[in-house]
Amino acid sequence: MRITGAQRGHAMKIMRILSIATVALFIAAPAASANSIIATNPMSGATVTVAPSAVSVTGQVALIDGGNSMEVTDPQGKRVDDGVLAIDVTSAVIGLKTLKVAGVYTVTYSLFGEDGIPLEGSFRFTFAAPDVISTPEPTPIETTTPKAEVSNWGTNAFVIGMLVVAFFVLVLLSLYARKIFKER
């Protein structure tokens, strides 16, 4: 039996589609596990009338202890954080000096999750300074820390499963190609 040009073209079309699907899978898999912001305190864009004593950024993935940075600047661009950055599972917290200038404050952060993907960005909040500035008394606040995604076994199982499927498709296509070329 002879292979016609139409049959060869059809086989090539299938190979192209499978190749594109495989490449798309490998591109999409890392993006699916990317870290992103869950919450900030103060909230991005918020106006606060009481000077916060700290600023926090909370992500989806547990943070590593090293290599992280966070900076808070006042409306004139001067740093107002105390330079002490604390990591608590998925949150990074930096203390603040007493805020005295009303205006827009900028928080810039670069945080590294256990997945190795950096979480970088900035947000702003507005401080509406009262006429008389007093240091607020610390009050205990109950917070719930989101459960950290320590293991991405579901993603890993999906990727491994797709690799196994891709392997079997490759084997079947090679057997099909061998059959076609043998019948020439």
* Mean pLDDT score, 19-42: 70
Region of poorest pLDDT, from 1-10, 99-108, 116-125:
1-10
- Per domain, the residue ranges of the chain are 5-27+153-182, 37-127
In this prediction, residue 90 has a pLDDT band, given cuts at 50, 70 and 90, of confident
Within 13 Å, how many C-alpha atoms sit on residue 37's CB side? 17
DSSP 98: P
> Which is it for strands 118-127 and 47-48: parallel, antiparallel or unpaired?
parallel
In Å, how far from its chain's centre is CA 127? 28
pLDDT at position 80 is 93
CA separation for the pair 55, 93 (Å, rounded)? 6
pLDDT at position 67 is 84
Answer with the residue of higher pLDDT: 164 or 66.
164
In this prediction, residue 8 has a pLDDT band, given cuts at 50, 70 and 90, of low
* Mean pLDDT score, 24-30: 61
Dump pLDDT digits (tens) for 104-141.
999 999 988 887 788 889 999 999 977 655 566 677 77
CA separation for the pair 48, 103 (Å, rounded)? 10
As a CATH number, domain 37-127 is 2.60.40.1220
Does 9 have pLDDT greater than 80?
A: no
Q: Where are the alpha helices (DSSP H) in the chain?
A: 5-32, 153-182
Region of poorest pLDDT, from 1-10, 72-81, 91-100:
1-10
In this prediction, residue 56 has a pLDDT band, given cuts at 50, 70 and 90, of very high
